[in-house]
Structure 1
Amino acid sequence: MGLGNPQEDLFAFGVSKQDFEAIEIAKSENRLQLIDGKELVEVLTGVWTCGNGAHTPGSQWILIQGSNKTLISLCVDSAYLYKNIEEMIPIGSCVSKSANLSAIKQMKTTADVLVPGHDLLICKQFRNFEQQTRVYIIDPGCNSSSIGELEKSINVHEKLGNSNFNPHWLKPVKEFEYYGNQENDIRGKSSWISDSELKEKFLDTNLPVVLRQVKSQKRCFDWDLNYLREKCENNIVIVRTETNRLLYRQGKRVPIEKMKFGRYATQILEKQKCRKRYYLAACNVKKALPQVNDEVYVPSFVKKIHKGPFLWVAPEEHYEFCHFDPDDGLLIVLSGKKTVRVFPPRYVDEMYPNPLGSYGRTIQSQVDKIGSVPDLDMYPEFRNVEGFETTLQTGDMLYIPAFWWHQVCSDEMTLSLNIFWGSERFLEKVRYHPGVRKSFDFWLLNVIEQNRAFSSFLKVLADLNEQIRRFLYNTWGEMITEEFAEEIRENVIEYLLKSMKSSDVFYSEQMPNPLSSFPVPRAKHTQRLKIRGLMHRNGNGALKEQTFKR
């Protein structure tokens, strides 16, 4: 559809005669380079193009090397919205859906930052753009016969971020039936998913998915509290307390108490009033409840377990603080009912995480009452977050990708298992997926801050690359490359220099960059970088003073 008279307006129907003339001139001057296929071609120093966008035959997307060697993909028409990228949804107009998805996948694994071609969320993702740019919304009823007249009818919105811009909403998580190794017996079912499809469509692309009505002969799906109490009554377990308070729901205060499993189970079974103050969370089945360890179910697609399996026993109406974990997670409901909300990892500031240096393995969000009435006056940026929601019942599983925020409510008394693990392309996902990398960088800086006040931090800095590699190896069981370690090191050093204060153990008034003066140690490497406060946080999210010696 054109904007003017095709005989008078050179831009009618979106075609410009001068464009074709410029191409002919470039060809005659031997300045025209034609590209074909899916490979990136460097057309200028630090600028590449790839002709596999699939919006139209030969449509291209652009890769640019920015500051600090950051790779930025301008998706143009290969991905209209962040939704196309995050959920691996083909664009509305393309010559081939599979080719378009292949292009999106290539962009996600190549670039550090992806910029979709037609998404107003760009204004929120890039603050400088928001401050310098006006958004023009064209009146669909306009019948202007020229560009000049058209501009008169444009509605100019000077201010972004008003209450009507990208309101908070929750979409359903995609779901399938899952039969594990019994695939060959149920080929006729349209709603099932195989391990190979699960890996390709969700595990490799970092998207959550619900697996319904899991079929397994493992005894854990018949567990109830009476059975577990009978088997493990005198086992000592660690239980979280004060879980009905605001500071817990914000992840700032997580006190613990040791008690016998039988006592905790009795509180819930007898519906004692105190039951809503306690929560049996992340109970390592193998260590704390070895009597039932052989009864635990681990699906076939879980290849490499980082931690767990863990048992969770929640009273009805329990609200667990919103957070993200640095591992892929699998939540399995054995009995009861849970409502889960998940949010993509590209949201960091919008989720109002607790300050850097907060103790523990996870990053917690301060936003409370996420599923009902969050305080948008206190947390205004949360209105711009888009997420997903699902309800899990007995026999259902939810795959929660690493670094995805999630908040879980127990609608009734619920027994569940979870496993922290890493998919086959876990390190690739952490390094190259733009949303995951953003949350990973925040998570690692949080660990750096946890260690910053300890005297051993000097030795961490003296051997920073190796300390990072060993820390992540002990976290995930995989050794990262030297290149990845160097990227992380540069980010850490930049952060420490910007936030340096006189109380830092590495502080120096004489040297503009005191971090550059540490020699490479010759002694045998010892891991000193570690997660602090795994078991207990006090009221400000930090570790109690007596827990670790400085």
Structure 2
Amino acid sequence: MEFKPTKIPVPEYSGVDKKKFLQELYPLRKPVVLRDLDLGACKTQWSLDYMSRKGGGREVKIHVSEVPQMDFIKKNFIYRSLPFNVFVRRAAENKHTDFFISEDEKYYLRSLGEDPRKDIADISKQFPELATDIQIPEFFEKDQFFSSVFRISSPGLQLWTHYDVWYISRNIVMDNLLIQVTGTKRVVLYSPRDAQYLYLSGDKSEVLNVDNPDLVKYPLFSQARRYECTLQAGDVLFIPALWFHNTVAEEFGVGINVFWKHLPSEFYDKTDTYGNKDPTAASRAVQILDRALKTLDELPEEYKDFYARRMVLRVKAKAYSANFE
């Protein structure tokens, strides 16, 4: 079965200021590409030599994959550590003389806090020498800020389809600016409304190849609406909370993800150190659902199937927003 998805282009805007973003774009809760923003000196200064010198020899933990398509469900990669200046140069190569698995291996850095169990990723703390070069768009209040994640990808690296969570536990309602400082990146996005077509395992889609999916195994995937954009150096992509995204680094690329809280503080668990828990109301609802599903297991299969279908219909009637596209 040939797969020819309809590609919905992500809208692009130039010279957007905080007022226009918050009043006209942000309330739509849809991705937008923002161009011609003042991002500071990073756009012109972040060459390989400059980043190697400024970043120095601090150890960084990286993903190493033998294939370009990284799969977090099947874990087709290993974790290794390298000095930052060594890692940056390796990540920019297509072929390696020094390697862990093969000369074609791909590298991916997603920066972490000093103690990942306690500290958030913050480029100003983990890479202060480089952080001074970047000006993050002030499209949110200071008390909404959660983290800034430094990301570096080998050319050709593709990240699995997911929506953003912190570490591996639960889902968090965070908005996100993906700042593409150097290189070109293709981004494919799917609306939260299409979650039912993505074959989810937690926050990740089982459909690894979004360009040529196995529609025998994943027939509903063809119904997911595909939003797409290509980020050039200096572009910024706004990814609203819960939107799924899949990225391909068409070139060696360096970027920053900035996360901030979309909901008021009372929606969040105050004991949440990592930012990896559901809003408290959502957490309670999931717990209740888990108990209900466990109760259904007490019924014979025919009854279990019937009442489960009734539950699905009630959820659709009560919880789905007709206005959310």
Superposed CA RMSD: 3.2
Alignment partners' CA distance in 1, 2:66 and 2:242: 23
How far the C-alpha of 1:491 sits from its partner, in A, is 3.8
Q: 1:303 aligns with which of 137, 141, 154?
A: 141
Of Structure 1 and Structure 2, the greater strand share is in 2
- Please tell me the residue identity of whatever aligns with 2:74: K
Q: Of residues 160, 163, 169 in structure 2, which corresponds to 1:324?
A: 163
Normalised TM-score (structure 1)? 0.45
Q: 1:219 to 1:242 in 2, by over 3 A?
A: closer
* AA at the equivalent of 1:395: G
State the partner residue of 1:197.
Answer: 20
For residue 280 of structure 1, the aligned residue among 109, 118, 130 is: 109
Q: Which residue of 2 aligns with 1:182?
A: none
CA contact (8 A) 1:235 1:288 kept: no
What letter corresponds to residue 131 of structure 2 in structure 1? N
Give the aligned length: 271
Residue type of the alignment partner of 2:128:
P
C-alpha separation between the residues in 2 aligned to 1:316 and 1:242? 12
Residues 217/290 of structure 1: CA separation in 2 closer, same or farther (3 Å cut)? closer
Deviations 1:66-85 (A, max 9, x none): xxxxxxxxxxxxxxxxxxxx
Q: CA deviation at 1:257?
A: 1.5
Give the one of 341, 350, 356 matched to 2:188.
341
Q: What are the residue-to-residue correspondences of 1:507-546 with 2, within 5 Å?
A: none
Q: 2:59 aligns with which of 213, 236, 246?
A: 236
Shift of 1:488: 4.2
User: Retained in 2: the 8 A contact 1:316–1:413?
Assistant: yes
What is the aligned-residue identity percentage?
23
Residue from 42, 46, 51 that aligns with 1:223: 46
Q: Return the match for 2:129 from 291, 296, 313.
A: 291
- Is the 8 Å Cα contact of residues 43 and 182 (structure 2) preserved in structure 1? no
Residues 1:212 and 2:35 are matched in the alignment:
yes
Task: Please point out which of 284, 287, 298 is paired with 1:492.
Answer: 287
Matches within 5 A, 1:316-465: 316-325=155-164, 326=172, 327-354=174-201, 356=202, 363-370=203-210, 372-423=211-262, 426-427=263-264
Q: Give CA deviations for 1:516-546 in whole Å, capped at 9, x if unaligned.
A: xxxxxxxxxxxxxxxxxxxxxxxxxxxxxxx
TM-score by length of 2: 0.73
Superposed CA offset, 1:116-162 (max 9, x none): xxxxxxxxxxxxxxxxxxxxxxxxxxxxxxxxxxxxxxxxxxxxxxx
Residue 474 (structure 1) shift: 6.1
Larger Rg: 1
Query: Is 1:249 equivalent to 2:71 in the alignment?
Result: yes
Contact 1:268/1:275, CA 8 A, preserved across alignment = no
Say which structure, 1 or 2, has more relative contact order (CA 8 Å, 6+ apart).
2
Q: Structure 1 pair 275/294, CA: closer, same or farther in 2 (3 Å)?
A: farther
Unaligned residue ranges in structure 1 (runs of 5+)? 1-162, 179-192, 357-362, 432-467, 503-550
The alpha-carbon deviation at position 234 of structure 1 amounts to 0.6
User: How far 1:229 moved relative to its partner?
Assistant: 0.6
Aligned position for 2:269: 469
Task: Tell me the secondary structure at the aligned position of residue 139 of structure 2.
Answer: coil
**Higher helix share goes to which structure?**
1
Contact 1:368 1:375 in 2 (8 A): no
The 3-state SS of whatever aligns with 2:132 is helix
Are 2:184 and 2:251, in contact at CA under 8 Å, matched by a contact in 1? yes
After TM superposition, where is structure 1 displaced by more than 6 Å over at least 4 residues in a row? none
One-letter amino acid of the counterpart of residue 289, structure 2? E
The verdict on how the C-alpha distance between 1:353 and 1:341 changes in structure 2, with shifts beyond 3 A counting, is same
Shift of the 346–471 alpha-carbon distance from structure 1 to 2, 3 Å rule, reads farther
